[in-house]
Amino acid sequence: MIGNVAGIRPYRRGSVRIEAQRLHDRTLIHNYGHGGAGITLSPGSALEVLDLLQAIQPGVQHVAVLGCGVNGLTVATRLVEMGVRVQVFAEDFPPDTTSDVAGGQFAPSLVAHGRDDAERELFQRSVQRSFEHYATLVGRGFGVFPRLNYTTEQSGSALRQVPVRDDGPVQAFEQLPIEGVQSSGYGFSTFLIEPPTYLARLRADLLTQGVEFRHARFDRVEDLRDLTADALINCLGLGAGDLFGDEQVVPIRGQLVHLEAQDLPYLLSHSGYLFSRSDVLVLGGTVERGVRDAVASPQRCDQLLQRHRRFFDSQ
Ligand SMILES: Cc1cc2nc3c(=O)[nH]c(=O)nc-3n(C[C@H](O)[C@H](O)[C@H](O)COP(=O)(O)OP(=O)(O)OC[C@H]3O[C@@H](n4cnc5c(N)ncnc54)[C@H](O)[C@@H]3O)c2cc1C
């Protein structure tokens, strides 16, 4: 066994928060609360942020991005493409953020879908735009791979949100085509996004393009006053809830077991999920609401391992 990892999903009740406000005479756009789907939704969320920024402050020249997880890096990338000067401020940088803990499947799971029509539409648009964006990164050194996700009948509600790709509709199987598995289920075309490769590549590209990365810790909203940018984008994940007193933000701990990588060209979802990246094979599927301690519990990870064993033993 290679090891266990744990991280805290920055879940937000109701919806991901993509919203603008005025702060210290500047535009501040919030972009946080992606729960268990930050890798999945970050490209679409970044486009929503840019749409808002261009509507409120067209021609903005200098933006401070707060946070250097997948959302901060993705927003920074889109801003640089627009020719904006970007500074990224964060306490932790890859490989030490929650985004680095993520398994890396494209699946909008453990994230709120919105409370009203406008929020639900925004969510669906973000899923769609993200999916289309990841399709453009395949084969270009970003660690993004097209994959089939096989899911049993009982699992996969989040997978049913994955848009259908041109090259393969959702397939139903009387028996999933995996050795040793008898269960019926579905196959969805989706993506595997390997966080170690993806986050490192985003950051390296930004460094090449002259983006400044600055270490900073914001304990009070007042701490943001000294930043000199014309606009701020809040991609602080769980930290955004603390800084802005957002009581809708709820930590949800997740733990993963990392085993040795195998040559598995698919993802599998049953009562847990498993897939292999090029560095490790990932077993996941734990959900601990309200827990903020990002330390893996050997007992909990052993239970996760047993859950996966029971699935194969029951076949
Ligand atoms: C076990 C597990 C598995 C997961 N698997 C998947 C998956 O397969 N697919 C998927 O799409 N998602 C997955 N996720 C969810 C995903 O990891 C998160 O949604 C995502 O990391 C959120 O990204 P973020 O950029 O918003 O926040 P983060 O990655 O947490 O980044 C936040 C940034 O803000 C900084 N920051 C925070 N507070 C402050 C402060 N006060 N001052 C200064 N800086 C601060 C941090 O240092 C960091 O740089 C998983 C999560 C877990 C825990």
- Is there an atom of ligand 1 within 6 Å of 98 CB? yes
CA distance 256 to 245: 29
Residue 256: CATH number of its domain: 3.40.50.720
pLDDT of 250:
96
pLDDT of 226:
93
Rounded to the nearest 5°, which phi and psi values hold at 116? -135, 180
Nearest residue (by CA) to ligand 1, atom 1, is 254
Nearest residue (by CA) to ligand 1, atom 19, is 38
CA of 195 relative to ligand 1 center, distance in Å: 11
pLDDT of 111:
95
| Closest atom, ligand 1, to C-alpha of 105 | 8
pLDDT of 70:
98
Nearest residue (by CA) to ligand 1, atom 31, is 69
Number of domains in the chain: 1
CA of 156 relative to ligand 1 center, distance in Å: 22
The whole-number mean pLDDT for each consecutive block of 10 residues of the chain, a chain of 315 residues, reads: 92 98 96 98 98 96 98 98 97 98 95 95 95 97 95 73 64 89 89 98 98 98 96 98 97 97 94 95 96 94 92 83
CA of 263 relative to ligand 1 center, distance in Å: 27
Nearest residue (by CA) to ligand 1, atom 26, is 237
pLDDT of 301:
93
- Is there an atom of ligand 1 within 6 Å of 101 CB? yes
Parent domain of 92 = 3-313
